[in-house]
Amino acid sequence: MLLDWWNRRKMLRALRKGPVTDRLWRQLRKELPLLRPLEVNEAVKLRELTTLFMEEKRFNGVQGIELDDRMKAIIASQACLMILRLGLESYSGWTEIIVYPEIFRVKRTVADESGIMHEQDSNLSGESWERGPLILSWNEVERDSLQLHKGRNVVIHEFAHKLDALNGRANGMPPLHPDMPLEKWTEALSRAYDKLQRQVEHHHACINPYAATNPAEFFAVVSEYFFTAPEILEQRCWEVYGQLRAYYRQDPLARLKEIER
């Protein structure tokens, strides 16, 4: 009780003096297509979460990029949209967000199936370490955030990996709620994943074929669809849509239909 009161006080102060000013919030609501369909109550809640998120996490711009409050809030608000009904605890266990100006290059040594080590060079737009930082490239964030690209949003993708890793390894299954039967989740997602694998073999994937890489990427990609193109996900993988709706405890498709009315 005392803690509740203390947290509430901390939050009120953060809201008053914190980085998300009225002006910035209005600007974000206009600039970010994912924030537009929110109703008033949801928007108020999202602003609270965004503010607390920005107080709790450490943003670190590298290779000469300077991050201002607007840039941080563009990342934070979309990350918090995902946990609107889950709470900030879903992002616990790590603190740092590293932002590169552009797509970044990583060099890594990986072992192949026979145990032989190879140097691998990749270009990445984002990356999420299981217990470490989350890494983003700003130009990719900007491209996906300021305009709606159906099925693609690097912020949603990388933060989905963070949610997935909350119960151990990122394996395509975040911690489910007690009212969500494990078998239903596994059945729905593995059926859709297997179907996608077959489609990819025949070159006609119904969603981004990158989702067929492994179950963790599948969860991250279907989460991108869930928030940016719920109508496509619902139409092409309705069982997956239903499971994500139960997990995220929100229904982006219903929200879109509501504003179209």
Judged by the rule CB under 5 A, the positions of this chain that interact with Zn ion are 217, 220
d(CA 100, CA 144): 15
Q: Which is nearer to Zn ion, 220 or 240 (CB)?
A: 220
Closest approach, Cβ 49 to Zn ion, in A, equals 23
Q: Which is nearer to Zn ion, 135 or 229 (CB)?
A: 135
Q: Which is nearer to Zn ion, 184 or 210 (CB)?
A: 210
Closest approach, Cβ 221 to Zn ion, in A, equals 8
Q: What are the beta bridge partners of residue 106?
A: 122
CB-based contacts of 229-234 (< 8 A; 24+ apart in sequence): 229/150, 229/151, 230/256, 231/256, 232/150, 232/151, 232/207, 233/207
Closest approach, Cβ 15 to Zn ion, in A, equals 33
The b/e string for 143-179 (b: 16+ C-beta within 10 A; e otherwise) is ebbeebeebbbbbbbbbbbbbbbbeeebebbbebeee
A 10 A CB-CB count for 114 gives: 5
Residues 6+ away with beta carbon under 8 Å from 179: 246
A 10 A CB-CB count for 90 gives: 18
Closest approach, Cβ 154 to Zn ion, in A, equals 9
Residue with the CB atom nearest Zn ion in the bound state = 220
Closest approach, Cβ 96 to Zn ion, in A, equals 18
d(CA 94, CA 67): 20
d(CA 193, CA 54): 35
Taking the mean position of all CA atoms in its chain, how far away is CA 158? 5
| Three-state SS sequence of 29-78 | HHHCHHHCCCCHHHHHHHHHHHHHHHHHCEEEECCCCCCCHHHHHHHHHH
Q: Which is nearer to Zn ion, 83 or 134 (CB)?
A: 134
Q: Which is nearer to Zn ion, 217 or 234 (CB)?
A: 217
Closest approach, Cβ 115 to Zn ion, in A, equals 25
Closest to 221 in 3D by CA, of 170, 171, 158: 158
Q: Which is nearer to Zn ion, 223 or 250 (CB)?
A: 223
Closest approach, Cβ 209 to Zn ion, in A, equals 13
Q: Which is nearer to Zn ion, 34 or 220 (CB)?
A: 220
